[in-house]
Structure 1
């Protein structure tokens, strides 16, 4: 749902005030938090995968099958996390997947309907 002109002006005023008050914090907020989060998640999954390899090899050397099985399961779980995290990471300048999916689907979610009702009530009270 697009913002009205009044809401757009208010948002721009708030942005200018934030930049004037704390430019360092404002510039930190400009970064794509979702992309940073997914990148960090992929790196953690790769580190976990390496730990899983170490557990697998340790179990083989010590001839403890259960340690090798745990290492394999850690590797498998981390591989799944890395692949799903990598797919979800938006490309630079691209919208997150959820936003693109919401625009493409004609059926509205419960939150969209609630927001629409709230806006309608607000408009009716303003008259």
Structure 2
């Protein structure tokens, strides 16, 4: 369901105020680091898939079944990586789930167990309300 003009204006005002008051927090909400990581992972998986196709074709031309099977397995593995990476990629403006980031090796951390998952808008609204309460 699309937002009304009034709701869109209110949301834009909230975004501008958030960027003005706390640019570091607003930038963290964008999730650009995780988005870049998952996009790179998907691109690598697509490249691997193409290598698998080349192996499959080379095995067929050379009549080596093992090379063809290896190519098929590479294609299958890369397709799974691409699909899972694509599903996990956050949308623009969406924050990664709590506790999810990157460790030193570039792999994402697993989410903390036991914490209820809250939407990004709920977290923003809570923080906005706390700031308004502090000012009064």
Specify the TM-score bucket, using the shorter chain as the normaliser. Answer: 0.5 to 0.7
Q: TM-score normalized by structure 1?
A: 0.54
Contact 2:45/2:78 (8 A) holds in 1: yes
Contact 1:42/1:85 (8 A) holds in 2: yes
Match in the other structure for 1:78: 78
The runs of 5 or more residues in structure 1 that have no matched partner are: 1-11, 16-26, 108-127
Aligned-residue CA RMSD (Å): 2.9
Aligned residue pair count? 80
Match in the other structure for 1:36: 36
Contact 1:52/1:71 (8 A) holds in 2: yes
Instruction: Decide which structure has greater helix share.
Output: 1
The runs of 5 or more residues in structure 2 that have no matched partner are: 1-21, 101-110, 118-136
Q: TM-score normalized by structure 2?
A: 0.51
Structure 1 ranges of 4+ moved more than 2 A:
97-102, 104-107
Alpha-carbon distance in structure 2 between the residues aligned to 1:56 and 1:90 = 33
Q: Which has the larger radius of gyration?
A: 1
